[in-house]
């Protein structure tokens, strides 16, 4: 059987995603993916346009995987329980799939993500979590940015070995989530914020 039989965008994306987790997203090239399938580089071009297209496909696939995991984790939960479930699912995915997670953090073309299921689901899950804290409008957006910054920062630093202290990261993570819960329950409204 020829190695190119059954080659399609989904198989190429899956192989590239697995490579990204193993060797880092920046090391995934069309040449490396072609070699994985035992074909020449031009054989991929009927399935993916270029490396940017392939990385976008990895990001979109990863976003679906990650939001599916978060959705299952938060189902039937609210408040602190939902926050902890959401955060743990986020962190676990980033640690287990560092290359795919990296792809989700890269800037993508607006057209590529406008109606992408993972992007839409991410917004829905975040909004649902924060509405459980009675946040809406600008407060919801600001709180969402805080959560993303915290989760992303922690997961990224942890993945690259950025925490070189004797204290286990799980203990710090638990305290951070407790602090976030407390902050979200006492979130200042725009009327309470002092202008600079």
Could you tell me the two tokens for 43? 């054989």
How far is residue 50's CA from residue 44's CA, in Å, rounded to a whole number?
A: 9
Could you tell me the two tokens for 48? 């993916």
91 phi/psi in degrees, rounded to 5: -60, -45
pLDDT in tens, the chain (196 residues): 344 557 999 999 999 999 999 999 999 999 999 999 999 988 899 999 999 999 999 999 999 999 999 999 999 999 999 999 999 999 999 999 999 999 999 988 888 788 899 999 999 999 999 999 999 999 999 999 999 999 999 999 998 889 988 889 999 999 999 999 999 999 997 665 555 5
What pLDDT is recorded for position 153?
Answer: 97
Structural contact between residues 55 and 19, judged by C-beta atoms closer than 8 angstroms: no
Closest CA to 180 of 122, 133, 115, 119: 133
Long-range contacts, 176-181 (Cβ 8 Å, 24+): 176/150, 177/83, 177/84, 177/87, 180/83, 180/87, 180/146, 180/147, 180/150, 181/79, 181/80, 181/83, 181/84
Determine the Cα angle at 13 with ends 60 and 107, to 5°.
40
4 phi/psi in degrees, rounded to 5: -90, -5
How far is residue 97's CA from residue 64's CA, in Å, rounded to a whole number?
A: 13
């Amino acid at each position: 059987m020829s190695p190119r039989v059954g080659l399609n965008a989904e198989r190429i994306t899956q192989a590239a995603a697995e490579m990204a987790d193993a060797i880092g997203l920046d090391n995934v090239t069309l040449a490396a993916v072609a070699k994985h399938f035992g074909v020449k580089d031009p054989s991929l071009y009927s399935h993916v346009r270029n490396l940017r297209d392939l990385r976008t496909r990895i990001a979109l696939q990863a976003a679906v995987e990650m939001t599916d995991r978060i959705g299952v984790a938060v189902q039937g939960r609210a408040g602190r329980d939902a926050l902890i479930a959401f955060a743990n699912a986020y962190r676990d995915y980033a640690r287990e799939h560092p290359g795919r997670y990296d792809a989700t953090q890269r800037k993508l073309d607006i057209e590529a993500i406008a109606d992408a299921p993972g992007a839409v689901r991410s917004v829905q899950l975040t909004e649902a979590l924060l509405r459980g804290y009675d946040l809406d409008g600008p407060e919801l957006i600001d709180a969402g940015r805080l959560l993303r910054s915290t989760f992303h920062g922690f997961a990224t630093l942890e993945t690259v070995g950025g925490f070189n202290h004797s204290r286990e990261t799980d203990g710090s993570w638990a305290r951070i989530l407790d602090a976030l819960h407390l902050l979200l329950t006492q979130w200042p409204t725009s009327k309470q914020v002092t202008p600079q």
